[in-house]
Structure 1
Amino acid sequence: MSHADRMASLIRTAAREARASAMPTPVFSQYRRYADEGDRLGYEELYFRRRRHVTALAAEALIDPGADPAALQDALWSVCDEYSWALPAHEKQAVDMGRGMDQCLDLFAALTACLLAETVQQCGERLDPRVTARVRAEVEHRVLTLLADDERPLPWESWPDNWAAVCGGSAGMAGIALWESGPRLERLLDRCRRAMRTYLSGFGDDGGCAEGVGYWAFGFAHFVYFAEELRRLTGEDLLDDPKVRAIASFPAVVHLGEGLFPAFSDGQERPDLPAALGCFLTTRLGVELPGLAPVTEMPGDWPDVTRTLRWGTLPAVRGANRSRTGTSWLPDLAWVVDRGESSAFAAKGGHNDEPHNHNDLGHFLLAAGGEVLLTDLGAGEYRKGYFDDDTRYTFLHNSSEGHSVPVVASRGQSAGRRRAARVLRCEPGADGVDYELDLTAAYEADGLRSLRRRFSWRRTPGELLLTDEVRAEHELTVDEVFVSRIEPRWEGSHAVWEGKTARARLAVPRQCVARDVETLHTTDHDGAPDTVHRLRVRFTVPAGTTSLRFTCTLQGR
């Protein structure tokens, strides 16, 4: 069965469920919770249920032209009634422009415009003309006119991240769906092209995405979707660029095997990868998207659904979950990833002002047997303050205390572009990699002269030698921190993390003055309870140079 066939089956199931249930009603008591309490998830869960309801009925109309359009028309009409197509957390996008929330053009307003515009375009005369006219008017008023008729730049047009691709791409697709060729469409497309250039400027020549593979998929998929619509309309090919091929290859370069990826920044270990994007990259660019599994539920974004129907001719079998062995080095991103047959290592440099930044210079992870033992927590729950400069690093997931990095004189790493790791060397070998970073600039600790972190990783048998070299003007405390979702136990001077399929065993130096395990209770990105175990090993280092060495071995069970 192809990805397209699986998607068609999922659409029919989702449409039956949508017809059997009422479309959720947006309520002010949920909308206000972000401003009042900092909670995003309550309103967003309702919002995205509404979008899934519309998407299911609209997609059914594509695969079954004889379907009764009554429920779809009601759903489209209801979306046109909404106070805002944007999320409460993004109100600033309108307020700063002096606009009402009916003209707040964020990610999800743009996605909504694309959903509604392509639906009325593709359904044609099957929809009541009054519904079609209202949809057209609302899409123009809420989204298209802001780009075609107002020259003031929108904030995201200068952001070299997923916002530029998703907002620009979705708005562009909506315009192509609704407007005939003419000056307004040309002005709109010019703005969208510029947004795409801004998006691509956020990548170095290595194609790496500092936001992680999940946000790579979100941004790059919508870049591709828009690029193909533009090519169909004008013949212009935004994909005819060597940099685009490097960006397309990013997941394959950093894949840890078994469908796992580094969850650096606000990433995920197992991100959802759109089947449409995977099929397109394989057939158009010859680039494989590792970890691509058959879709088991309808995606939330309309283009992911419709492009899977259009491009998903490949067999829906589990993708290449095992990467090639060897070392990948992304010099612009300063990530190194090394994969063995059953184990993997990844570490990062960079700076502490990256998109979706975490204060995590020198952070690393170890995986074996298809699970991550020493981990990156990835994205926390997005709440009020999560993206504010003055409060972002009070959240565990974003602070250096949520990462396997040193704490010097009770101080973690500081934020800012000048808080950068300097790469001293990266030397891949026949059986691993040696990677060394100067982390001194990340710390504001009185008496710290320098801090260098060296990784010596050997994939056979799966062993990491970690050395932190500290130069101090006077006596300092240094806490070495190791983060996992598995609670370690002690075996003499060794800490052991026992996973389901493998374990990690860390030799702790005897000169440590204290060691303990902190168990922290937090919430994950979806708001579900999450338990984090943080091993902290304390040293008192004298004036001069001290080397702190740890050996961690991975073993299968």
Structure 2
Amino acid sequence: MSFPAAAFRGPLAAIAEGATLTAPDRSLPVPVASDRDVWDTSSGSADHAAIEEVIARATDERSTPWPQPRASDAARVHRDGDRTAWEDAAFERQRRLSRATVAAAATLDEGWVDEVVDGVVLLCEQSSWCWPAHDDTRRVHGAVLATVTDPFVDLGAGEVVAQLAWIDHLLGSVLEARAPGIRRRIRHEARVRVFEPFRRRRDWHWIGLDGDVHNWNPWIHGNVIVAALRLLDADTEIAEREGVVALAVEGLDRYVAALPADGAIDEGYAYWWNGACRALEALDVLAHATDGAVDATSVGSLRETVAFPHRSHLGGDWFVNHADGQARPPADQPWHALHRAARRYGDVEAEAMAASHRHPGSPAATERDGLGRLLRGLTDPAWVGASPASPPLPRAVWLPSTEVLLARHDAGSSAGLALVAKGGNNAEHHNHNDVGSFLVAVDGVPVIVDAGRPTYTAATFGPDRYDIWTMQSSWHNVPVVRGTTQPAGGNAAARDAVTGIDDERATFSADLAGAYPAAGLASWRRTATLDRVTRRIEIRDEWRFADAAPTRADTALHLLLAGEVQLERGGARVTPLGGARPVRLRWADDLEATAQVRHLDDPMLTEVWGERLTRLALPLASRTQLLLTVELDTPIEDLP
């Protein structure tokens, strides 16, 4: 059978229509464990360094109890907002199973096979695969624990069902010989917990029927595709398999249709890996499962989004981090997925970006991001054998869909100053109220910064989101105007955003008045410039009020700084983190700036910024304009 015509017709509809799926046992693009030319630990082509590390970790934990997600921790989401106690145990259980799976595939040792059987059955016996913070059971059933007769399909359910599908693909016959009946159990749980509710309910918010399409869409649909390809394998399930895959492709098409032409992700770089990258991975699996018939390389937005990681790169481990991203996210991302997509879509700069994280002799992948990603990284010969490269670090990037400009002094080098400026609106995904904010990095290290996200709790995505300080405009590099801060919502937006980019300078300019609807502004024009001739950054603000009244004392510009801060007359000297060169901020001598130290204790913040950030407040009473400059605190003759 082939794909039926889709009700929703985005870029993928014509590409997928009529494509035929290969047999279930050939549908996933990873060699099975019986292929010893790949998996043999002494002579196989799979990455030995990663396998050895995974087996070492698996061996260390083998005699310890399996992690146990507890009901009392699931209930905490509704009691005190804590979601990590349950999630940490659930995630570590799945990672342990991934490690055991690789050990079993590499050695075919019966003890490791038993370990996999144990882990699989533990997942099958787990009351719910849905993360408690996502479940609608309290709203629908008045319960704080999962309702097992009404499972919710979320990110967690997608991850588990795909993990079981990869295990079945890799080790199915080995598991069945060791524990007859286990494959039937896997298929039963996949059907009851995912396939049936996925088809029965079509009001899943992550499908994007209301037009609001976010990163859950490709993440879940991609996992459903993997699971359906492998686990719906009975002769009586052929039509169902086609139907589930077609429905998932139609859902994925909504995401691809909403992807902007420039490939930018308003959730930022950190969420690219679990949004656009998930879409690219799902389409890669579909290309394999249809013998190349589903080929999405002609879709321009997909080609462009392959470039988004290097277009967001500041240098080293540092990235532009608007929305809920971290400025220094974990370095061990699934770079092989980017490398594979770059090869498929023909983006040599994106391929170089990925290869800059490939170090011969080091593991080609880890289990941190799921079993499927681990297996793909271990068994991709082009990735395993890739030579190191230098990241592209483009000289200037303008992404009109998100109104973000990134500019640095020289292409290919993070040395010196870099400017990031944004317009946007306050209804972006994982939004922070940050219209008009800017960042400055020196030698690739942020110094005027966005704090990013703290640890997620129940409040993070609820009505109290903007009670969290990191989400508020008063903790971003924007003004407080007549005592008012930016509200959330799409109406709080920049106006008339324009850029000018040439060899000498890169400039971003926008009117921020619309982000302060209660302030009585006629305009607040912000112009941010990286001047490559003078080697400095200028932030120029000019404003006027509709009532023509003078600027009051409750209007101020806030600047959030990372590093050691020394206030001076008419400016400040900042020594950034990580050994980057100091910079000087300068403003009018008669401005009396004040500094507030924010002590950090959340690990999501401390692992990026250390123990503190410093917020400067520049009072703007009686003014109608302000010029802020940033320069390296280095004699001009010493600059490279």
User: TM-score per shorter chain, which class?
Assistant: over 0.9
CA 1:511–1:103 in 2, change beyond 3 Å: closer, same or farther?
same
Q: Which residue of 2 is the match for residue 503 of structure 1? A: 582
Deviation at 1:94, TM superposition (A): 8.2
Deviation at 1:3, TM superposition (A): 9.0
Given the alignment of the two structures, is residue 414 of structure 1 paired with residue 487 of structure 2, yes or no? yes
Q: Which residue of 1 is the match for residue 599 of structure 2? A: 521
Once the two structures are superposed, what CA deviation does each residue of 1:110-130 show, in whole Å capped at 9, x if it has no partner? Answer: 011000122122212211222
AA in 2 matched with 1:374: I
AA in 1 matched with 2:568: E
Q: Which residue of 2 is the match for residue 107 of structure 1? A: 155
Other structure's SS at 1:186 match? helix
Given the alignment of the two structures, is residue 346 of structure 1 paired with residue 420 of structure 2, yes or no? yes
Q: Which residue of 2 is the match for residue 56 of structure 1? A: 99
Deviation at 1:548, TM superposition (A): 1.1
How far apart, CA to CA, are the structure 1 residues paired with 2:53 and 2:84? 25
Q: Which residue of 2 is the match for residue 201 of structure 1? A: 257
Aligned counterpart in structure 1 of residue 188 of structure 2, from 117, 137, 158: 137
Q: 1:116·1:135 contact (CA, 8 Å) conserved in 2? A: yes
How far apart, CA to CA, are the structure 1 residues paired with 2:255 and 2:513? 31
How far apart, CA to CA, are the structure 1 residues paired with 2:138 and 2:193? 11
Q: Which residue of 2 is the match for residue 257 of structure 1? A: 315
Once the two structures are superposed, what CA deviation does each residue of 1:342-364 show, in whole Å capped at 9, x if it has no partner? Answer: 13111111111000111101111
Q: Which residue of 2 is the match for residue 372 of structure 1? A: 446
Q: Which residue of 2 is the match for residue 293 of structure 1? A: 357
User: Can you give the 5+ residue segments of structure 1 that lack an aligned partner in the other structure?
Assistant: none
AA in 2 matched with 1:483: L
Q: 2:187·2:232 contact (CA, 8 Å) conserved in 1? A: no
How far apart, CA to CA, are the structure 1 residues paired with 2:374 and 2:90? 18
Matches within 5 A, 1:162-311: 162-180=215-233, 182-234=238-290, 235-272=293-330, 273-287=333-347, 288-289=350-351, 290=353, 292-294=356-358, 297-311=366-380
AA in 1 matched with 2:183: T
CA 1:536–1:257 in 2, change beyond 3 Å: closer, same or farther?
same
Matches within 5 A, 1:326-365: 326-340=395-409, 341=413, 342=415, 343-365=417-439
* Aligned-pair identity (%): 25
CA 1:555–1:449 in 2, change beyond 3 Å: closer, same or farther?
same
Deviation at 1:144, TM superposition (A): 1.4
How far apart, CA to CA, are the structure 2 residues paired with 1:555 and 1:245? 40
CA 1:97–1:283 in 2, change beyond 3 Å: closer, same or farther?
farther
Q: Which residue of 2 is the match for residue 534 of structure 1? A: 615
Number of equivalenced pairs: 550
Q: Which residue of 2 is the match for residue 395 of structure 1? A: 468
Deviation at 1:420, TM superposition (A): 1.0
Q: Which residue of 1 is the match for residue 538 of structure 2? A: 465
Once the two structures are superposed, what CA deviation does each residue of 1:14-36 show, in whole Å capped at 9, x if it has no partner? Answer: 32234232211222232222211
Comparing 77-86 and 214-223, the one that deviates more: 214-223
Deviation at 1:54, TM superposition (A): 0.8
Given the alignment of the two structures, is residue 494 of structure 1 paired with residue 563 of structure 2, yes or no? no
CA 1:45–1:151 in 2, change beyond 3 Å: closer, same or farther?
closer
User: Can you give the 5+ residue segments of structure 2 that lack an aligned partner in the other structure?
Assistant: 1-43
CA 1:2–1:275 in 2, change beyond 3 Å: closer, same or farther?
farther
How far apart, CA to CA, are the structure 1 residues paired with 2:163 and 2:399? 36
Q: Which residue of 2 is the match for residue 156 of structure 1? A: 206
AA in 2 matched with 1:526: M
Q: 2:297·2:344 contact (CA, 8 Å) conserved in 1? A: no
How far apart, CA to CA, are the structure 1 residues paired with 2:156 and 2:598? 33
How far apart, CA to CA, are the structure 2 residues paired with 1:421 and 1:328? 19
How far apart, CA to CA, are the structure 2 residues paired with 1:399 and 1:495? 24
Comparing 87-96 and 36-45, the one that deviates more: 87-96
How far apart, CA to CA, are the structure 2 residues paired with 1:319 and 1:423? 39
Q: Which residue of 2 is the match for residue 479 of structure 1? A: 556
Q: Which residue of 2 is the match for residue 122 of structure 1? A: 170
How far apart, CA to CA, are the structure 2 residues paired with 1:184 and 1:87? 27
CA 1:408–1:312 in 2, change beyond 3 Å: closer, same or farther?
farther
**TM-score, length basis structure 1:** 0.92
Other structure's SS at 1:385 match? coil
CA 1:524–1:312 in 2, change beyond 3 Å: closer, same or farther?
farther
Aligned counterpart in structure 2 of residue 425 of structure 1, from 493, 498, 503: 498
